[in-house]
Amino acid sequence: MTVALLVAPEGVEQVELTEPRRAVLEAGGAASLLSTREGRIQAFHHLDRGDTFAVDAVVADAAPDDYDALILPGGVANPDALRLDPAAVGFVRSFFRGGKPVAAICHAPWTLIEAEVVRGRSLTSWPSLRTDLVNAGARWADEQVVICRDGPSVLVTSRKPDDLPAFNESLVTVFAAHAR
């Protein structure tokens, strides 16, 4: 299983990047960090700077066919920046069109809204996104993890860092079931 983790150059919630990545690696998968620019990304612990991480590929140059699944970590600034990048939005949309599984946590569903892939789907997020998601046609639930199998791809969503153990277990299970 080869998984892409898509983040902006700055603003990802560090634990929402590192813990899902670790879960994929521990399950025997490969994880590739994609961003909108090459170099390193700056992660955060809420509002405080965290570590930096090397980018494996620029999303504009990445081929969705090279990946089995996609993880969208949260952080407020991260998805807000990604949804303004046409290559990032197109990359996300391609996973849904290709029937590949996607996992998103916290504020990451903002990018899903921009990619126009939430209509008719059930999902969760950080609570402040509820109105945005409902207005985009999603069914929102305040649950630790929501797995939506509506449509050709499976969507795994979670609310916050406290939900990471359940989120990671769910995404690894779903991703493994859909691996090539």
Average pLDDT, the chain: 97
Q: Give the active site residue among 46, 107, 148, 178.
A: 107
pTM more than 0.85: yes
Domain span at residue 66?
Answer: 2-178
Whether 178 is catalytic: no
Whether 148 is catalytic: no
CB 133 within 8 A of CB 140: yes
Q: Which alpha helices (H) appear in 27-106, and where do they start and end?
A: 77-82, 86-97
Q: pLDDT digit string (tens) for 92-104?
A: 999 999 999 999 9
Q: pLDDT digit string (tens) for 1-14?
A: 999 999 999 999 99
Q: Stretch 67-82: mean pLDDT, rounded?
A: 97
Q: Give the active site residue among 45, 46, 106, 148.
A: 106
CATH classification at residue 170:
3.40.50.880
Residue carrying the six token digits 């090539």: 180
Q: pLDDT digit string (tens) for 115-167?
A: 999 999 999 999 999 999 999 999 999 999 999 998 788 999 999 999 999 99
The number of domains in the chain is 1
